[in-house]
Structure 1
Amino acid sequence: MSSSPASGQKGALQRFLDIVERGGNALPHPIIMFFYFAVGTVALSALLSLIGVSVTYDAMDRASGELVPTTVAIKSLLTADGVRFMFTNAINAFTGHAALGTILVAMLGVGVAEYSGLISAMLKRMVLATPKSLLTPILVFAGIMSNIASDAGYVVLVPLGAIVFMSFGRHPLAGIAAAFAGVSGGFSANLVIGSTDPLLGGISTEAARIMDPTYMVTPVANYYFMVVSTFLITILGTIVTDKIVEPRLGSYGGDMGEKADAMTPEELAGLKRAKWSFFALVALLCALIIPEAAPLRDPASGQILGNSPFMQSIILILTALFLIPGAAYGFGSKTFESAEGVVQGMVKSMSTMASVLVIIFVSAQFVSYFTYSNLGIVAAVSGADLLNNIGFTGLPLAVAMVLLSAVVNLFMGGASSKWLIMAPVFIPMFMQMGFTPEYTQVAYRIGDSTTNIITPLMTYFPIIASFAARYQEENGPKIGMGTVISMMMPYTFFFLGGWIVLFIVWSMLNLPLGPGAVMFM
């Protein structure tokens, strides 16, 4: 096995990783960061209001529908009105946050599907039923699809990938790499709407309302782009695994005796029940959508997409599509003995949301202060004017947003916590430059995914390194975090480069990003 880079390369890599680790460890907890941001917003609003900072820009007049010059000045939060706002609006800022309800409701369904074992069983079934010729693409694809749940891909698919690769006489580290690349490197791609989509959409909605109080970013705002991205990342992940990573690893000299466990009769029975319950749900949805006078169509226009009841209820529908098959699997596989199992699954999923709720509460105060003080509008207009003046606009600016997100992700994990920081600044600024919030969100998601697999600050990275260490050869080089990073680096380069090319082509063709979601204002 030749998993260790040359000494010069290893030294440069280690120096880079040391910088990333020190920088990431120096950052406070996201909740503390948002507290600092809120306090800083209060102080900055008072200072800039005292100076008399204001901007003038063209805003849409709601009565006439025309653009009219509008002047906005900074409002201090340290005035009597500002203090009253901070005290009286704290609860409304939290309960009215667009991400709060959507993520909690979505996780009820995902939690049952995960707690019952449905998601793990589906991943296992998919990989075990794969012929040798399709092993790599199916493993990468299964990793991408696994991100609809919180950690099933990391704790089930990654170690399973090593075992399945060994069962076909292939290097187990290549199986770990392929699965990890799909699970984490392809985090923002999927064929279905997962818990991340409503969470990011809610954050984007709050940021967009700094400029337009009526703007709504739906959970399916990036769906078309992410479906195509799923196949792109699957293809790229397969090429990198088969042509770069596995040849570099060489032949495996360790024990090849470990075999993947076959599906149990209980798992198969559970999957059968889940399948039929899913088909029944789909049939019911078709009855509620397809007929001309169906109740989930728009009663005025008859449309299914757009601002129809179907789109307004998409989170509830997705919750049902996870919850009911998850419950059916639980009863079929005997992981649920009674309805209490379903309840426990929902309760457990809510318990994992504790940190998210605290982050949303503190960040909601920051965003409300940012909006009330007009700092968001002033920053957006001033930033857009600066970029226009230096000629840095259009597609190059959007690509720069991808790269910035990729770099920030090296130092700070968590897709939602970073977006809570970046969205209130970049979404209004990009709106001023003609980009929709949906487009800015796509740019962020690309960068946020591609560097997950090479930063030691990612939550599951030490766990992946421990999985890899299990396959240490007796006389081979030591397998550690540096080995995993060097093994995953080609995926980052290919995923980032390929995704940027797709992003550029998509932009040039001006294709919709999702149902009713365009790229330009």
Structure 2
Amino acid sequence: MSAGSGFLNVVERIGNRLPDPVFLFLWLILGLVVLSLVGAGLGWSAVNPVTGELMAAQSLLSRENLEKLIIGMPRTLADFPPLAIVVTIIYGAAVAERTGLFDSAIRGALLNAPKAILTPVVVIVGMMSHHASDASYVVVIPLAAVIFAAAGRHPLAGLAAGFAAVSGGYAGNLFPGSQDALILGITEPAARLIDPNYSVNIAGNWFFIIGVVVVFTPIVWFLTDRVIEPRLGAWTPVPGASQKAATPEEQALTPAQKKGLAWAGLAILGMIALWTLLTLMPGSPFIDPEAEPGQAFNPLYRSLIAFFAIMFFVAGGAYGAGAGTVKSHRDMVRMMGEGIAQLAPYIVLAFFAAHFVAMINWSGLGPILAVNAAAVLREVHLPAPVLLIMVVLVSCVFDLFIGSASAKWSALAPIVVPMFMLLGISPEMTTAAYRMGDSVTNIATPLMSYFPLILTFAQRWDPRFGLGSLMATMLPYAGSFLVAGLIMVAAWVALDLPLGPGVGVHYEPAAPITQVAP
């Protein structure tokens, strides 16, 4: 057995023994309760360098905290920012998905791609398809294989390019969407452990996720065309392969679907025009005239959650009316209900994640650990790029064992976001580094929830293509993404590039860090 196979086997065994993320949070909460008792007993404390407040560890079994936990349980869940944000966007996205808008838009983009630039089109569409949530896995990846086969290329090379874009490029996109709302929604309460007035918006990583598309697209293009496809060899149908994969002609859009896309395009243009009008009109609610010039448009950026929710709803309805998939307003209401029903596993997880984040705040342990750890790291004088590279690497390791991006970030954010704020790094930059690490190793671990599905897609074309074959095919992408991701994060900090509109790399605490020994 090779060292690589042995390592992967160890990862698989450890990952299979981990509890479901829900129970992972439950164990973390129980551990937090014990740690709060120890901290309160030993008098752990620190001074918040932003507010000057002395923070002392509090027992989670105190009367006050038990009251918050038990009596305030519904409020704790309701106050969990990611839950409200995700539910709001899902109302619209569910209509866009179930009317067929996302599916038709993805197929239209891929089927019309010129052969000379087929690979980069697959990559960009794959990253853009993150707005379609799980549909990106079941539409883009198998369709990419079909399109490659139709172009006389190896279908498994197309499948690999699609998988690399959809899963390995999970941090990339051209526009913010539900994933940005979810992850940055977790960042905000973590940042407020140090700065109670800190606000995070859905566009906080916009320029960074565009950068991921720009950096990762040529990597996938080169590896697919020059490494993976030559390794696979010339494509010849394998005896026993499934003949059920649809041809491009069978995948082609119908006149009704084309009509629906045209109507959806008009609806999107109408939404853009409406938001532009609301921004430019006198007394606009999207502009704060009393804010500093760099912060004046913060209300506009925060309105993007509503914009995407309404846009998906309106465009989905327009597509459905044009394509005939919506017969009445009741269909759209039903689709919204189905979208919320599909969100049920996340709502279950959110209950425990919300209480874990809240209890870290009640105990005071999160801010205390952040202040003291930041003081220690500042003594070491590690440069900001190195610190953020550490975040990327930690995120990569966690991703090998825990698939849910929001579960991992809910556990990490209350510690690393405040700590890095005290080191002068903005919450949005820390979030970007986390997202990079969470993205690049997705395609390298068989514990990723869609890995078996991708293997099934591959075996339609070659029944002999096994788990090891898929991992060997995807490892060059994962390794290249990791190296490029580390360089990109370090360069972003070194060059002090903006992460989004009005959002920078650095955060300036109001006062120097003070460490108070326990």
Provide TM-score, normalisation by structure 1.
Answer: 0.92
Is the contact between residue 438 and residue 519 of structure 1 (CA under 8 Å) also seen in structure 2?
A: yes
Question: Are residue 52 (structure 1) and residue 43 (structure 2) matched?
Answer: yes
Question: Are residue 259 (structure 1) and residue 247 (structure 2) matched?
Answer: yes
Is the contact between residue 353 and residue 410 of structure 2 (CA under 8 Å) also seen in structure 1?
A: yes
Residue 106 (structure 2) aligns with:
123
Segment drifting more, 404-413 vs 387-396: 387-396
Written as runs of structure 1 = structure 2, the 5 A alignment for 1:336-485 is: 336-472=326-462, 478-485=464-471
Shift in Å at residue 86 of structure 1?
A: 2.1
Change (3 A) 1:303 1:440: same
Residue 4 (structure 1) aligns with:
none
CA offsets, 1:260-298, max 9 Å, x none? 122111211111111111112222222112345544333
Rounded Cα–Cα distance in structure 1 between residues aligned with 2:50 and 2:274: 42
- Aligned-partner SS, 1:72: strand
Change (3 A) 1:338 1:250: same
User: 5+ residue gaps in structure 1?
Assistant: 1-7, 62-67
Shift in Å at residue 181 of structure 1?
A: 0.7
Change (3 A) 1:60 1:393: same
Q: Determine which of 14, 32, 46 is the counterpart of 2:23.
A: 32
Rounded Cα–Cα distance in structure 2 between residues aligned with 1:304 and 1:334: 45
CA offsets, 1:457-510, max 9 Å, x none? 11111000000011117xxxx211211111011111111212222222211111
Shift in Å at residue 128 of structure 1?
A: 0.8
Give the letter aligned to residue 172 of structure 2: A
Two-structure CA RMSD over aligned residues (Å): 1.9
Shift in Å at residue 24 of structure 1?
A: 1.0
Residue 216 (structure 2) aligns with:
233
Shift in Å at residue 312 of structure 1?
A: 3.1
Segment drifting more, 37-46 vs 175-184: 37-46
Q: Once the two structures are aligned, what percentage of the paired residues are identical?
A: 37
Shift in Å at residue 91 of structure 1?
A: 2.1
Segment drifting more, 234-243 vs 257-266: 257-266
Rounded Cα–Cα distance in structure 1 between residues aligned with 2:295 and 2:138: 36
Residue 286 (structure 1) aligns with:
276
CA offsets, 1:178-213, max 9 Å, x none? 111111111111111111111111111111111122
Residue 493 (structure 1) aligns with:
479
- Aligned-partner SS, 1:204: helix
Question: Are residue 145 (structure 1) and residue 128 (structure 2) matched?
Answer: yes
Q: Determine which of 180, 204, 216 is the counterpart of 2:199.
A: 216
Rounded Cα–Cα distance in structure 2 between residues aligned with 1:121 and 1:85: 48
CA offsets, 1:12-64, max 9 Å, x none? 33222211111111111111111111121112111221122223x46234xxx
Shift in Å at residue 400 of structure 1?
A: 1.2
Residue 12 (structure 1) aligns with:
3
Residue 511 (structure 2) aligns with:
none
Change (3 A) 1:301 1:376: closer
Is the contact between residue 289 and residue 297 of structure 1 (CA under 8 Å) also seen in structure 2?
A: yes
Is the contact between residue 124 and residue 213 of structure 2 (CA under 8 Å) also seen in structure 1?
A: yes
Residue 305 (structure 2) aligns with:
315
Question: Are residue 272 (structure 1) and residue 258 (structure 2) matched?
Answer: no
Provide TM-score, normalisation by structure 2.
Answer: 0.92
Change (3 A) 1:403 1:317: same
Is the contact between residue 127 and residue 170 of structure 2 (CA under 8 Å) also seen in structure 1?
A: yes
Rounded Cα–Cα distance in structure 2 between residues aligned with 1:188 and 1:306: 27
Q: Determine which of 180, 183, 193 is the counterpart of 2:163.
A: 180
- How many residue pairs match? The answer is 500
Rounded Cα–Cα distance in structure 1 between residues aligned with 2:230 and 2:131: 31
Shift in Å at residue 391 of structure 1?
A: 4.0
CA offsets, 1:346-390, max 9 Å, x none? 111101111111211111111111111110112112222332344
Is the contact between residue 298 and residue 304 of structure 1 (CA under 8 Å) also seen in structure 2?
A: no
Residue 74 (structure 1) aligns with:
57
- Aligned-partner SS, 2:497: coil
Question: Are residue 506 (structure 1) and residue 492 (structure 2) matched?
Answer: yes
Written as runs of structure 1 = structure 2, the 5 A alignment for 1:84-123 is: 84-123=67-106
Segment drifting more, 321-330 vs 493-502: 493-502
Give the letter aligned to residue 164 of structure 2: A
Rounded Cα–Cα distance in structure 1 between residues aligned with 2:61 and 2:31: 12
User: 5+ residue gaps in structure 2?
Assistant: 508-518
